[in-house]
Amino acid sequence: MDVNVKLKPSLSIEAFYLFFIITSIQLGVGMMGAPRYIFLEAKQDSWISIILAIIFSLIVLFVMLYILKQYENADILGIQVDIFGKWIGKLLGLAYIAYFAGALLSVVLTYIEVVKIFIFPEVSSLLMGVVLTILIIYTVLGGLRVIVGVCFLFFLLTHWLLLLLIEPATAINFDHFSPPLQASVTELLSGAKASSYTFMGIEILFLIYPFIVNKEKTKLPITIAALWTGAIILLTTVITIGFFSPEQLLRREWSVLALFKIQTFTFIERFDYIVVAEWMMVSLPNMVLLMWALTYSMKRMYKVPQKVTLYTASIFLLIGCATIEKHYHIQKVITIVSDNGFWLIFVYPILLLPFVLIKKKWKKARKV
């Protein structure tokens, strides 16, 4: 397996789209329930936790970028093999594959559950799974350019939802944030960790980097992307905590969606129906990118054709949808993914950095 990726120029994308790729994979189903989980840990100081999380994810992003820049045109799978050798490198690659598969499953399951709770209590999970899988397969078959197009287009088509938060934002009670600075450092940190499921997705940079044409311009889009995601999560959390009293918030699983409920127009009551349907557009880029990452990693590491992985993974995904239906089980999948993902995405790159630097020095020394 080559460390560096060789690509046809027709497959490459501009650095500018990294912004949309990273925000699309970060803003998905996670943010619907995030405020409650953060609030559970950090209470009225949740906003500090989120700011910590933003700073931390920025640091991780720059560490990732730094690692990638040590190589000519490599992705994480190649780098791991280069550093740890074939066997350990591939084993670590397998960890990424497992994470992509798990994250994909958790996202699909969560969206299906939300649809069941808000719109169709009696719809079969399998049918919903089929609907989503058709869209995923159709997009991934189009290749990376279509996937990036989906991220870009759906980003533009979903961000109007933010306007619907104006009305709940006017009804914020600032008393819910006082007294400030009560949480201890551990509470703040565990609040930040609770938000990790939402902030996940930056690992896509590790895979997509070789596809970027103008690599020197990657810094700006990824910084803005991390800030944008952070700002939106901060905004929704602040509004949610300000809008609901602590008791109400603890009772509401999908607190962000509940915010949209109070929005009414003269021609549409109950806007949350539209929002939940529209959320398909929010979470689809998420699923598509994870599926692409899964198929692409399989091809990179084991030379399995992407189509084979795509269809096999879809079948497993459907089986997962049909069997995992209970709220408890879904929560368990999410917890497993977010706990393991936390280490893989936010901690592992920082651990990897010294190895990369040592390897680089060693190579230089050998050359001299």
Under rule CB under 8 A, residue 153 binds other proteins: yes
- The nearer residue to other proteins, 23 or 57, going by C-beta atoms, is 23
Under rule CB under 8 A, residue 123 binds other proteins: yes
| Contacts (Cβ under 8 Å, ≥6 apart) of 347 | none
- The nearer residue to other proteins, 208 or 276, going by C-beta atoms, is 276
Under rule CB under 8 A, residue 152 binds other proteins: yes
Under rule CB under 8 A, residue 55 binds other proteins: no
Per CB under 8 A, contacts with other proteins among 225-284 are 264, 266-271, 273-274, 276-278, 280-281, 284
Under rule CB under 8 A, residue 139 binds other proteins: yes
> Cα separation of 5 and 218, whole Å?
18
DSSP 249-304: HHH-TTHHHHHGGG---SS-S-HHHHHHHHHHHHHHHHHHHHHHHHHHHHHHHH--
Give the interface segment with other proteins, choosing from 54-62, 134-142, 214-222, 340-348 (CB under 8 A).
134-142
- The nearer residue to other proteins, 86 or 270, going by C-beta atoms, is 270
Residue 44 beta carbon to other proteins: minimum distance, rounded to whole angstroms: 34
CA distances from 137 to 154, 291, 308 (A): 17, 9, 11
- The nearer residue to other proteins, 273 or 342, going by C-beta atoms, is 273
> Cα separation of 39 and 249, whole Å?
8
- The nearer residue to other proteins, 270 or 363, going by C-beta atoms, is 270
> Cα separation of 368 and 360, whole Å?
13
List phi, psi (to 5°) of 4. -90, 155
> Cα separation of 356 and 36, whole Å?
38
Grouping H, G, I as helix, E, B as strand and the rest as coil, residue 13 is strand
Under rule CB under 8 A, residue 11 binds other proteins: no
> Cα separation of 4 and 74, whole Å?
4
Under rule CB under 8 A, residue 213 binds other proteins: no
Residues in touch with other proteins (CB under 8 A): 14, 16, 115, 119-120, 123, 127-128, 131, 134-135, 138-139, 142, 146, 149-150, 152-154, 156-157, 264, 266-271, 273-274, 276-278, 280-281, 284
